[in-house]
């Protein structure tokens, strides 16, 4: 079986011939550009500047060479643009040296200035005539959104302002998706596509880093308060956004058909380390109706599986995710309260695919010993991989300064487990 066939079996809760791996398929299963360099060095690949394919988190390109070296089974289909609002695919590239001294290649509209404190300021759509929309601290490894909230006049709040970035898909973008998916489908790898437009209240999107003059509710704290204080306003946004999204998905499907295996639906986080951001009742009332509309359309009209990202202690939401029609949950934060791998697999493994959870990134991968890393990888694979329904990835993106010895131990654990099939 090739990679795509093994992924399909996995997504249908059938035992694949080997463990399926994803590193770099989405903006939440990626690898920081510094870790990409370290992995390339470890595998003896040709030294060259790493391309930054997602500037907000400074994720590096996992190219064909590295995919083959690591045994990766999944390729990600990213949209034309990125969270900062400029082209990140089919664009020109230029050299850039990071604050930590790494030589990189960045998109041609990656335009920045240095702040007085040595931090890096980046501009929406590359337009340096407007205020910057994100900042990387001098000692940081990725960007943080700059809140550009205008004063809120309750009487003039207009949901159209919070829908500016969720418009009808144009023919140029449809051509891009058709061209991209056709190219990737020849690889024999599984494909997960970040089609866009379906993220309901994803806090990474709320500040509108891609917009030159964001209007509406763009402050993170104000947004969270609005889910309680202005529920009608949020409902209006979600209702129209979902309507637009489904129409866009119809048009995309007409171009690409079933050439993708999974669609990244939403990255809204519902969990903290110890609890959830909202109650189950609020999820049912505010989020579930719109997730169901999107997922119902996908399941009725396509063979795609829907992929939902939520960090944190979301064990209590798992039945609600299932009821919402979600097929895949990520990142499976195994170190959060209630997120015990064995309990998750035994209780929800027949309904949900766990895409992630292979090793804890907060503590184990960064600070454990290589022996401890390999041990946790083997233990989690043994639990999650039984009867399919498990795509190996770390708990969220691999961060910049993870010791290469620990990454090597992780890969050794995967290789050892695959040898047991």
Give the up-direction half-sphere exposure of residue 210: CA atoms within 13 A in the CB hemisphere.
20
Give the up-direction half-sphere exposure of residue 313: CA atoms within 13 A in the CB hemisphere.
12
Locate the domains of the chain by residue range: 3-46+62-83+149-418
Kindly give, in sequence order, each residue whose CB lies less than 8 Å from that of residue 321, ignoring residues fewer than 6 positions away: 308, 310, 314, 329, 352
Q: pLDDT tens for residues 84-122? A: 999 998 889 999 999 999 999 999 999 999 999 999 999
Kindly give, in sequence order, each residue whose CB lies less than 8 Å from that of residue 170, ignoring residues fewer than 6 positions away: none
8 Å CB contact between 410 and 373: yes
Residue pointed to by tokens 């960090």: 311
Q: pLDDT tens for residues 302-361? A: 999 999 999 999 999 999 999 999 999 999 999 999 999 999 999 999 999 999 999 999
8 Å CB contact between 137 and 114: no
d(CA 213, CA 150): 9
For the full predicted model, state whether its pTM sits above 0.75: yes
| Longest CA–CA separation in the chain, Å | 64
Q: What is the pLDDT tens value at each position of the chain, 421 positions in all?
A: 899 999 999 999 999 999 999 999 999 999 999 999 999 999 999 999 999 999 999 999 999 999 999 999 999 999 999 999 999 988 899 999 999 999 999 999 999 999 999 999 999 999 999 999 999 999 999 999 999 999 999 999 999 999 999 999 999 999 999 999 999 999 999 999 999 999 999 999 999 999 999 999 999 999 999 999 999 999 999 999 999 999 999 999 999 999 999 999 999 999 999 999 999 999 999 999 999 999 999 999 999 999 999 999 999 999 999 999 999 999 999 999 999 999 999 999 999 999 999 999 999 999 999 999 999 999 999 999 999 999 999 999 999 999 999 999 999 999 999 986 5
Q: Which residues of 359-375 are buried (b: 16+ CB within 10 A; e: fewer)?
A: bbbeebbbebebebbbb
Could you give the angle at which helices 231-256 and 288-301 cross, rounded to 10 degrees? 10
d(CA 380, CA 354): 11
CA 331, 333, 334, 335 torsion-angle sign: positive
8 Å CB contact between 26 and 331: no
In the structure encoding, which two tokens stand for residue 248, read together? 């866009």
User: According to CATH, what is the number of the domain 3-46+62-83+149-418?
Assistant: 3.20.20.210
For position 317, what pLDDT does the model report?
98
8 Å CB contact between 318 and 344: yes
């Amino acid at each position: 079986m090739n990679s795509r066939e093994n992924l399909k079996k996995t997504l249908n809760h059938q035992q694949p011939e080997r463990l399926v791996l994803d590193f770099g398929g989405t903006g939440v299963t990626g690898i920081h550009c510094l870790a990409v360099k370290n992995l390339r060095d470890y595998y003896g690949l040709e030294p060259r500047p790493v391309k930054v394919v997602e500037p907000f988190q400074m994720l590096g390109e996992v190219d064909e060479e590295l995919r083959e070296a690591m045994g990766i089974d999944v390729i990600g289909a990213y949209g034309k643009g990125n969270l900062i609002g400029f082209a990140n695919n089919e664009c020109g590239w230029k050299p850039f040296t990071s604050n930590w001294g790494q030589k990189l290649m960045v998109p041609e509209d990656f335009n920045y200035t240095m702040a007085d404190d040595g931090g890096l300021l980046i501009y929406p759509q590359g337009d340096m005539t407007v205020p910057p929309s994100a900042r990387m601290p001098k000692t940081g490894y990725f960007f943080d959104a700059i809140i550009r909230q205008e004063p809120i006049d309750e009487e003039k709040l207009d949901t159209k302002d919070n829908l500016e970035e969720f418009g009808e898909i144009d023919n140029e973008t449809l051509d891009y998706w058709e061209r991209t998916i056709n190219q990737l489908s020849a690889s024999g790898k599984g494909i997960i596509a970040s089609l866009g437009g379906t993220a309901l209240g994803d806090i990474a999107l709320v500040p509108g880093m891609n917009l030159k003059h964001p209007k509406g509710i763009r402050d993170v704290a104000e947004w969270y308060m609005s889910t309680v204080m202005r529920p009608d306003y949020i409902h209006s946004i979600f209702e129209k956004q979902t309507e637009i999204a489904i129409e866009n998905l119809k048009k995309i499907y007409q171009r690409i058909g079933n050439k993708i295996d999974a669609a990244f639906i939403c990255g809204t986080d519902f969990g903290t380390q110890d609890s959830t951001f909202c109650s189950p009742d609020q999820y049912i009332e505010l989020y579930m109706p719109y997730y169901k509309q999107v997922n119902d359309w996908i399941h009725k009209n396509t063979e795609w599986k829907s992929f939902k990202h939520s960090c944190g202690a979301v064990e209590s939401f798992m039945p609600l995710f299932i009821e919402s029609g979600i097929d895949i949950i990520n990142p499976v934060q195994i170190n959060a309260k209630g997120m015990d791998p064995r309990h998750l697999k035994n209780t929800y493994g027949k309904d949900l695919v766990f895409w992630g959870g292979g090793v804890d990134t907060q503590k184990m991968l960064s600070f454990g010993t290589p022996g401890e890393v390999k041990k946790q990888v083997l233990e989690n694979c043994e639990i999650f991989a039984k009867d399919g329904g498990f795509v190996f990835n770390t708990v969220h993106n691999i961060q910049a300064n993870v010791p290469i010895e620990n990454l090597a131990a992780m890969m050794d654990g995967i290789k050892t487990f695959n040898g047991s099939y």
